[in-house]
Amino acid sequence: MNSTKFWDKAAAKYAKSPISDMSGYLETLERIRTVLKPHHRVLEIGCGTGSTALELAEGVDQYTATDVSSKMIAIAKSKQSADTPKNLRFETQEAGKLANGSHDVVLALNLLHLLPNLEDVLTQIHDELPVGGLFISKTTLLTDGACYLRPMISVMRLFGKAPYVRMLGNAELKDMLKSTGFDVKETLSQSGIAPRLFIVCQKT
């Protein structure tokens, strides 16, 4: 099952699932808010059902939130109301095919470990951003997590219960970003069975 079909099938259940680490999520939101500025034009890739976009869009000039799953985007659009910031739009789009337009900031939250073409996507993000542009990510580090995660995910994938997942570690991800041409400005580690790493990078 490819990624699009998997996430289309999972969309309804995903939308109903509570955030597993609410304190970590809120901490991440606060860190992002301190980085984003009112003039920023933001692109979020892998936005899921749009919860983070709805939280952050009000603080920036433009916010485009994309996901490979049209079912996820449909749910995101259904959350919009008269109070939703007018600068926010949701679009179905692959992570490696960035939305048209100029962006000062690209967000990829809980996404990079799900990309089989990660190196290509990072290169495209780097090329799309202007000098001084920011790339903000939060990534699950399965290499640094519990030893049973790798075999468990392999079995789940056999039965169509898990998408493609890349085993990434802290040092590997930072080195990958640096080799792409990003300067790592800020990091935040969140512990757990599968640790997560929040990174703010800048194109120099």
99-142 pLDDT tens trace = 656 899 999 999 999 999 999 999 999 999 999 999 999 999 99
Q: What is the pLDDT of residues 77-107, one digit of tens each?
A: 999 999 999 999 999 998 877 765 689 999 9
- All domains of the chain, ordered by start, with CATH? 3-203 (3.40.50.150)
Whether 136 contacts 106, CB under 8 Å: yes
Alpha carbons 2 and 164: distance in angstroms, whole number: 8
SS3 content of the chain, % helix, strand, coil (to 5): 40, 20, 35
Q: Where are the beta strands (DSSP E) in 77-175?
A: 88-92, 105-109, 134-140
The type of residue at 70 is S
